[in-house]
Amino acid sequence: MERSRPSPPWFAQTVTALTFLLLYIPLVVLVIYSFVSIDPANGQALFSLEWYKQALQDDELRRALNMSLWVGLWSTLGASIIGTATAWALDRFSFPGKQWLDALTLVPLVIPEIVMALSLLIWFVLLKFSLGSISIILAHITFSFSYVVITVRTRLADFDHSLEEAAFDLGATPIQTFGRVSFPLIWPGILSGALMAFTLSFDDFLITFFTAGVGSDTLPIKLYSMIKYGISPKINALSTLILLATIIMVIFAFRPKKSSQSQTEKLKAIG
């Protein structure tokens, strides 16, 4: 007979509830204020999409948004390629310094962001590399590729090598085996890491602030410059849109894991 688990003590429940309230009440307030407009005639609060309209029509905000998307897409592409190649090498090959490389891939996850931002800025200055969108992309790749390495290595840990062996027995070349067997199996991990890398790149402020040049402000930097002169309702509206986009990307980042098992079964059936 299975014993029922005891319920957590009231103190743990209270702390958990307070933690979630502190985390999510500010977000709820921000979303509510993004839909509130004050009627100048009587001072009443009305439901309105005016702030969303103004935010989307702001040329400076749109330029910053385009810069964030540009940086996010290219840094995600670079992080996905480098992260996947690194994960594949660490999983499949033995070479001198492998343990060091394995440890170094985790350094961007634990190093303080301010330290990383300063080191990247100093490195760009020493190389006399002009600061701009390219420097931001390179900086974002350095911290986001680690997430791709982790997600891809997680998929490789559950990899069924018998599928590759079956492909070789059927006369497939290494390239054909990778393209038709290996890549489809690790694709969910690549996609999860890529979506996470894009989310981190799009939301990053500190490293971007140190590595951005004149005329290359991303959306977080633009919002910071606007907040210094007061919080405009446009910021609430734009922040709500960013929050919605982030939630959607996180959902899609975890969805591939659900279909990975069925994909493996299909490949086994084909083999």
Whether residue 164 lies inside any domain: the answer is yes
Task: Report the 10 Å Cβ neighbour count for 31.
Answer: 15
Whether residue 41 lies inside any domain: the answer is no
Q: pLDDT of 57-94, one tens digit each? A: 888 888 998 999 999 999 999 999 999 999 999 988 88
Q: Cα-atom radius of gyration of the chain, to the nearest Å? A: 23
Domain total for the chain? 1
Closest Cα partner for 223 from 214, 215, 232? 232
Whether residue 13 lies inside any domain: the answer is no
pTM for this structure? 0.80
Q: Indicate whether 266 pLDDT > 70.
A: no
Q: Residue 144's domain is classified under what CATH number?
A: 1.10.3720.10
State the pLDDT at residue 146.
93
Whether residue 144 lies inside any domain: the answer is yes
Whether residue 31 lies inside any domain: the answer is no
Q: Mean pLDDT of all residues in the chain?
A: 83
Of 33-37, 175-179, 216-220, 227-231, which has the strongest mean pLDDT?
216-220
Of 45-54, 78-87, 229-238, which has the strongest mean pLDDT?
78-87
Tokens 């999983």, residue located = 91
* Longest Cα–Cα distance in the chain: 80
8 A C-beta contact, residue 200 and residue 136: no
Closest Cα partner for 235 from 75, 104, 55, 88? 55
Q: Indicate whether 191 pLDDT > 50.
A: yes
Domain boundaries, position 162: 48-270
Closest Cα partner for 141 from 191, 88, 204? 204
Tokens 């490389």, residue located = 101
Q: pLDDT of 14-45, one tens digit each? A: 888 888 888 889 888 888 888 887 766 666 66
Whether residue 140 lies inside any domain: the answer is yes
Whether residue 210 lies inside any domain: the answer is yes
- Integer CA distances (angstroms), 183 to 114, 179, 191, in order: 36, 5, 11
State the pLDDT at residue 255.
64
Whether residue 1 lies inside any domain: the answer is no
CB environment 106-131: b (16+ within 10 A), e (fewer)? eebeeeeeeebbeebbeebeeeeeeb
